[in-house]
């Protein structure tokens, strides 16, 4: 019996498609642990200006003072002194794929990054552990004034623009993990889209944690000026290790008047990654921000993309999925904060739990006193595939004027024997029948993904669900 259980456990682990490891390649890493000396060393290695070093040290003090979140999963087990806060795979960022070290190139080739760049994306930024390794942007966008680089480079090349927006939406005392990121941040994505420019095909960033017991703390800073448009896609994976990796990112997005930004994430970390992320956008008059947020992996995931609808008639939308199997705790959702008049928001959340997983929706719809004639809609749907899994809906809906409205709808359901019997009576076996039901449940999310990502997502979920019937 013990042998059979071991074989089953190995089978479960091996199903994670991206858990391979081409070797823990690292050209440099700081000592393990977190203190003023480590933070100062990181800043000096990056040759940063004094204001950034002071910002980091202040952030570290904030981190040490702030408690763990008083909601969601218990995070008290994290030993912050047991991580490497800065490792890098190469010494330089390259724009020729062939110049990457073989181990990194093999990994990204297996992940399909070069093929995606060639066939679909207008630019790509790849990060390995704490540092960027590759970036490329099509010439026609460069000629239009679009900037697409990592945040380390942006700090040096565009210091005034960077400093104007950096940490303005998410302060270094916003929460414990925002303070941690602010102290040790590295790499990430910087995008600037000038007024009137439309980026019609997506830019992509890809984040890979490769070193065991390391952290990844990237910053994403996106500025889209008035009358402009941006489609952005990010993906993330990590090898499977016996110990946890820590990922605590910050995303800040500024959406100009009459502009449109769509930010798509397919988070597919391995089940040993703690994913603790702060994402926030601010939307000006007649602008629109869309979060398309896929949460498939990670041991613990806490992520609540936010829209601050500052401008009149601005709009925010989030459509998300959370998939939780054994050993996975998904605590995800969205926040919509209405400040301008006639603002609109919509949150659609889909959760699936099986094999004893936990997937909770946690969200906020806030309509302020000046946000008259505004509308917010929240839809939370959960599909539970067994009797061991768990899901809660934890919404906060607040309206501070009597000329606006909030709609909230939540459903929790199980796959019924009648549904399975109907499909099986049409010649479909039980496993395929369950897959059809699940994919139909997720269809509102998958139809919003680029085709390549939608196909990949379907395959990932099918692999995760193996063994869920019976």
Stretch 297-313: mean pLDDT = 94
**Beta strands per DSSP E along 312-374:** 315-324, 329-332, 335-338, 344-353, 358-367
Neighbour-count burial for 54-74, b at 16+ CB within 10 Å, e otherwise? ebbeebbebbeebeeeeebbe
Tell me how far apart the alpha carbons of residues 175 and 160 are, in angstroms, rounded to a whole number: 26
**Rounded Cα gap, residues 162 and 376, in angstroms:** 33
Tell me what percent of the residues of the chain surpass a pLDDT of 70: 73
pLDDT at 124: 52
pLDDT in tens, 405-430: 999 998 887 776 777 776 777 777 77
Q: What is d(CA 284, CA 429) in angstroms, rounded to the nearest whole number?
A: 51
Which residues 6+ apart lie within 8 Å of 160 measured at CB? Answer: none
Token output for 468: 């869920």
SS3 assignment, position 334? coil
Q: Which DSSP category does 273 fall into?
A: E
Q: Is residue 121 a contact partner of residue 204, using CB atoms and an 8 Å limit?
A: yes
CA 360 to mean position of chain CA atoms: 16
Distance of alpha carbon 372 from alpha carbon 458, whole angstroms = 41
Q: What is the pLDDT of residue 14?
A: 35
> Look-up: residue for tokens 């301008």?
340
Distance CA 112, CA 128 (A): 15
Strand ranges of the sheet holding 203-208, from the earlier edge strand across to the other edge: 131-137, 123-128, 203-208, 229-237, 260-267, 288-295, 315-324, 344-353, 375-384, 405-414
pLDDT at 179 > cutoff 90: yes
Q: Summarize pLDDT for 333-378 with one digit per residue, the tens.
A: 999 999 999 999 999 998 888 888 999 999 999 999 999 999 999 9
- Split at pLDDT 50, 70, 90, the class of 440 is confident
Q: Token pair 């926030």 is at which residue?
A: 280
Given this model, what pLDDT does residue 100 score?
A: 56
pLDDT at 296: 81
Query: What percentage of the chain reaches a pLDDT higher than 90?
Result: 46
Q: What is the pLDDT of residue 342?
A: 98
Mean pLDDT, the chain, integer: 80
Nearest to 204 by CA among 326, 279, 113: 113
pLDDT higher than threshold 60 for residue 4? no
**What does the pLDDT look like over 210-251, one tens digit per residue?**
545 567 888 999 999 999 999 888 765 543 333 468 889 999
Residue with tokens 């630019």: 123
Query: Which H or E run contains 193?
Result: strand 188-193
CA distance 457 to 350: 14
The contacts of residue 446 (CB under 8 Å, 6+ apart) are 439, 454, 457, 458
Closest-CA residue to 361 (of 405, 404, 327, 320): 320
Q: Contact, 234 vs 265, CB < 8 A?
A: yes
Would you state the structure tokens that stand for residue 232, as one six-digit string? Answer: 């952005």
Nearest to 149 by CA among 189, 194, 185, 186: 189
Contact status, residue 205 vs residue 222, Cβ threshold 8 Å: no
Give me the residue spans of the domains in the chain.
19-303, 417-470
The whole-number pLDDT of residue 40 equals 96
Residue 401 has pLDDT above 50, yes or no: yes
Total number of residues shown for the chain: 470
| Residues 264, 233 contacting (CB under 8 angstroms) | yes
Measured CA to CA, the distance from residue 296 to residue 293 in angstroms comes to: 10
Contact 382, 409 (CB under 8 A): no
Average pLDDT, integer, range 182-191:
91
State pLDDT tens for residues 79-129. Answer: 999 888 887 655 555 555 555 555 555 555 555 554 554 444 445 555 555
Assess contact for 124 and 117: CB atoms under 8 A: yes
Read off the pLDDT band of 388 (50, 70, 90).
Answer: confident
**pLDDT at residue 455 in the model:** 58
How far apart CA 382 and CA 209 sit, in angstroms, is 30
Strand, coil or helix: what is 116?
helix
Q: What is the pLDDT of residue 8?
A: 42
- Helices and strands: H and E segment counts in the chain: 12, 26
């Amino acid at each position: 019996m013990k042998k059979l259980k071991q074989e089953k456990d190995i089978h479960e682990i091996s199903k994670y498609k991206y858990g391979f490891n081409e070797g823990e390649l690292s050209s440099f890493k700081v000592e393990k642990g977190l203190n003023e000396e480590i933070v100062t060393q990181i800043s000096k290695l990056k040759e940063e200006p004094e204001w950034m070093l002071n910002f980091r040290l202040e952030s570290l003090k904030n981190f040490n003072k702030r408690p763990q979140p008083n909601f969601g999963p218990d995070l008290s087990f994290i030993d912050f002194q047991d991580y490497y806060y800065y490792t890098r795979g190469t010494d330089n960022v390259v724009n020729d794929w062939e110049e990457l070290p073989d181990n990194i190139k093999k990994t990204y080739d297996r992940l399909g990054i070069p093929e995606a760049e060639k066939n679909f994306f207008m630019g790509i930024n790849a990060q390995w552990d704490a540092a960027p390794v590759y970036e490329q942007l099509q010439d026609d966008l460069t000629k239009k004034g679009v900037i697409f680089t990592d945040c380390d480079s942006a700090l040096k090349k565009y210091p005034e623009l960077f400093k104007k927006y950096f940490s303005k939406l998410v302060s270094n005392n916003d929460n414990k993990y925002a303070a941690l990121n602010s102290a040790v941040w590295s790499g990430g994505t910087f995008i600037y889209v000038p007024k009137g420019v439309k980026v019609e095909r997506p830019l992509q960033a890809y984040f890979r944690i490769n070193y065991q017991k390391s952290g990844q703390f990237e910053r994403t800073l996106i500025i889209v000026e008035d009358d402009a448009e941006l489609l952005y896609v990010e993906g993330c994976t990590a090898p499977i290790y016996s110990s946890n990796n820590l990922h605590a990112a910050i995303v800040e997005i500024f959406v100009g008047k009459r502009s449109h930004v769509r930010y798509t994430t397919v988070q597919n970390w391995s089940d040993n990654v703690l994913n603790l992320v702060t994402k926030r956008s601010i939307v000006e008059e007649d602008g629109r921000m869309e979060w398309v947020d896929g949460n498939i992996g990670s041991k613990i995931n806490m992520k609540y993309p936010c829209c601050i609808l500052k401008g009149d008639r601005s709009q925010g939308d989030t459509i998300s999925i959370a998939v939780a199997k054994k050993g996975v705790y998904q605590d995800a959702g969205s926040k919509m904060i209405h400040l301008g008049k006639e603002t609109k928001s919509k949150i659609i959340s889909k959760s699936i739990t099986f094999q004893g997983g936990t997937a909770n929706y946690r969200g906020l719809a806030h309509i302020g006193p000046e946000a008259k004639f505004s509308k917010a809609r929240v839809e939370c749907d959960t599909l539970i595939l067994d009797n061991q899994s768990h899901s809660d809906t934890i919404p906060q809906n607040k309206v501070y004027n009597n000329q606006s409205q909030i709609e909230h709808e939540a459903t929790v359901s199980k796959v019924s024997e009648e549904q399975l019997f109907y499909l099986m009576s049409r010649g479909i076996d039980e496993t395929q029948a369950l897959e059809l039901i699940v994919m139909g449940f997720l269809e509102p999310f998958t139809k919003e993904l680029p085709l390549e990502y939608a196909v990949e997502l379907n395959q990932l979920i099918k692999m995760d669900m193996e063994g869920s019937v019976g």
